[in-house]
Amino acid sequence: MITEYVDCAEFKRLIVDKKLKPATLKYYLRRMGIVFTASNAEQFAEQVYTIFLGAGEISELRDLMNNDTNYEKSLVMNLVLKKESQEDIIDILLDEINKKKSIKSEDYFIENPVRTQDGLYVQFSYTRKLPGRNKLLEYEKRFLKLNIRKASQHEVVVDIRQQSSIDSKNALTFINNIVKSEELINVRHINLELLSSKNKVEFFDRIAAYSFDLWQLKTITGITVKQGLNDEEDEDVVVDEDENSPTLTGISQAVLNGSGLRSNEFVQESLKKGYIISAMRYRYEHKKDTTEFAVVLSFRNQDLRVDIDKTYFEDEGKILVQPLVKAEQNDIIIAFQNSANQVFGTLIKEQRND
């Protein structure tokens, strides 16, 4: 959150220099009920720069400025309290995090955990050494946030928000240290390896078929197959929308018409060669406005990642790539984490009943 006053002249300069795209600001203001029709950046800047915007609005506009770091990335897992315990799992986790905070660590710095209505969150940071010999750029400070949502008295969803995938190792170490200290808690991973060969494919089909209140599936924009989830040396086979691949068109058609991924020739051949689907990129469109987003569900090692790849909106007939505000991205991430959790849990139960 920005806490200092941003002078309107600086705001105007961002628009004129097109660091804040006029179309982006028009989109943002239009959602607030403010409409401008200026056709160029200079005219638009003159019209808009005297509007008083608070710290919250300026923070959201900063998030909207086109930058890869403004797309939310997450890793998700569950923590489960053993049934013999009568304590609330949030109370136990809060106590353990505070214990870790009281002990100085060379690996990371923990901020004060904050209890919320449905769980808690805590942010921590660590220092990463960068390659190269420049002393000024030798170290980089990285930040992670753990959002812990209560699913029941005995179970929580751990939602790790990270700047990039390189941060997840430190977050997992932090969680494992908590679990080791508290014997009553187990980690429940959303682990693709726990699914049968059939259900490894079925997982991605059911995500595509999942019904959301505000969004509907438009197309599949990417698929990754891999020989295994644990061997980092195995190369991914990626089919991406940038390649204008007929293979991807066929996969989209198979998913959208309900025949499923297994009906696609590329998927069939990949499965015969021993590959598994390790990631899928889905593109959704809003049911009521012109925004769209691409979300990636991917598996590495034992865990599921849910990342927003890109978000889009339409302006004057053109589709523009533009990050949504963090609150909207957060809603999307949580919705897909919850749907993935539900689909995975259902498939595990079905396997047990077979």
Cα–Cα distance for residue pair 230/301, rounded to 1 Å: 5
- For position 68, what pLDDT does the model report? 54
pLDDT band at 283 (very low <50, low <70, confident <90, very high): very high
CA 32-211-309 angle, to 5 degrees, is: 60
- Quick one: average pLDDT of 20-47? 76
- For position 239, what pLDDT does the model report? 78
- For position 189, what pLDDT does the model report? 95
Query: What are the strands, taking DSSP E only, across 16-154?
Result: 73-81, 109-110, 114-116, 119-129, 139-152
- For position 156, what pLDDT does the model report? 96
Q: What is the pLDDT of residues 284-295, one digit of tens each?
A: 999 988 899 999
Residue bearing the bigger pLDDT, 201 or 28: 201
Cα–Cα distance for residue pair 292/72, rounded to 1 Å: 15
Residue bearing the bigger pLDDT, 184 or 8: 184
Q: What is the pLDDT of residues 316-329, one digit of tens each?
A: 777 888 888 888 99
Query: What global pTM score does this model have?
Result: 0.82
- For position 77, what pLDDT does the model report? 95
Q: Coil, strand or helix: which one is 146?
A: strand
What is 73-188's CATH topology? Answer: TATA-Binding Protein (3.30.310)
Percent of the chain surpassing pLDDT 70: 90
The separation between CA 298 and the C-alpha centre of its own chain, rounded to angstroms, equals 10
Tokens of 119: 């769980």
Q: What is the pLDDT of residues 82-117, one digit of tens each?
A: 877 788 899 999 999 998 888 877 777 888 999 999
Integer CA distances (angstroms), 30 to 24, 43, 59, 228, 235, in order: 10, 17, 17, 46, 45
Q: How many CA atoms lie within 13 A of 316 on its CB side?
A: 8
Cα–Cα distance for residue pair 259/257, rounded to 1 Å: 6
Q: How many residues does the chain have?
A: 354
pLDDT band at 261 (very low <50, low <70, confident <90, very high): very high
| Cβ(65)–Cβ(19) below 8 Å | yes
Residue bearing the bigger pLDDT, 20 or 212: 212
Cα–Cα distance for residue pair 59/53, rounded to 1 Å: 10
Q: Is the dihedral of CA 105, 108, 112, 118 positive or negative?
A: negative
pLDDT band at 218 (very low <50, low <70, confident <90, very high): very high
Domain with CATH 3.30.310.220 in the chain: 73-188
- Quick one: average pLDDT of 240-266? 86
| Cβ(142)–Cβ(167) below 8 Å | yes
Integer CA distances (angstroms), 244 to 220, 239, 247, 266, in order: 12, 9, 9, 15
Average pLDDT in the chain: 85
pLDDT band at 172 (very low <50, low <70, confident <90, very high): confident
